[in-house]
Amino acid sequence: MEKLILNMMSWANVTEKELEEKGVIPTSFGEDLSWEYLCYVREHPASWTVPTRILYGSRDNLTSYETITAFAKAHGAELTVMDGGEHWFHTDKQMQFLDNWIIKGRSIR
């Protein structure tokens, strides 16, 4: 999450000092940046202890493939990549892929 926030800050040309001074900064891409949230994320790193399956779109513009693969490896998560998928699955093709992925996951338990 910290990496995503830092990436968003970079996209918005916002420095940590500026975010700390202002507290909250709206961005042109519709997400507010929050100093309080950045601090929270840093103070509470993810502790993952449950079996996890991740569905990732190859055209995800928020989370890099390197970040998601590192997370999956660090936490023993199964990673499935949909070629052409985006961060938010919303097209008919993406939703069908998601439905099939969910069904497959239920059948292997």
Q: In terms of residue numbers, what domain contains 12?
A: 2-43
Inside any domain, residue 91 = yes
pTM above 0.85, yes or no: no
Q: Is residue 12 part of a domain?
A: yes
Residue 7 is assigned to a structural domain of this protein: yes
With respect to residue 70, please indicate whether it lies within any of the assigned structural domains: yes
DSSP H helical ranges for the chain: 2-11, 16-22, 35-43, 65-75, 92-107
Whether residue 37 is found in the same domain as residue 62 = no
Q: Is pLDDT of 107 > 80?
A: no
- pLDDT at position 46, please? 80
39 and 59 share a domain? no
Q: Tell whether 37 and 57 lie within a shared domain.
A: no
Based on the structure, what is the number of domains in the chain? 2
CA distances for 83 relative to 48, 53, 87, angstroms: 26, 17, 12
Q: Give yes or no: residues 37 and 66 share one domain.
A: no
In a domain, 92, yes or no: yes
Distance CA 19, CA 36 (A): 9
- Is residue 75 situated within a structural domain? yes
**Inside any domain, residue 48:** no
Euclidean distance between CA atoms 66 and 61, whole angstroms:
12
Question: Exposed, middle or buried by CB within 10 Å (0-12, 13-18, 19+), for 77?
Answer: middle
- Please check whether residues 36 and 58 belong to one and the same domain: no
* 16-70 pLDDT, tens digit each: 999 999 999 999 988 899 999 999 999 998 888 889 999 999 999 889 999 999 9
State the average pLDDT over residues 89-107: 91
Instruction: Indicate whether 79 belongs to any domain.
Output: yes
In this structure, are residues 8 and 26 in contact, taking their beta carbons and an 8 Å threshold? Answer: no
Task: Note the maximum CA span of the chain.
Answer: 51
Are both 59 and 101 inside the same structural domain? yes
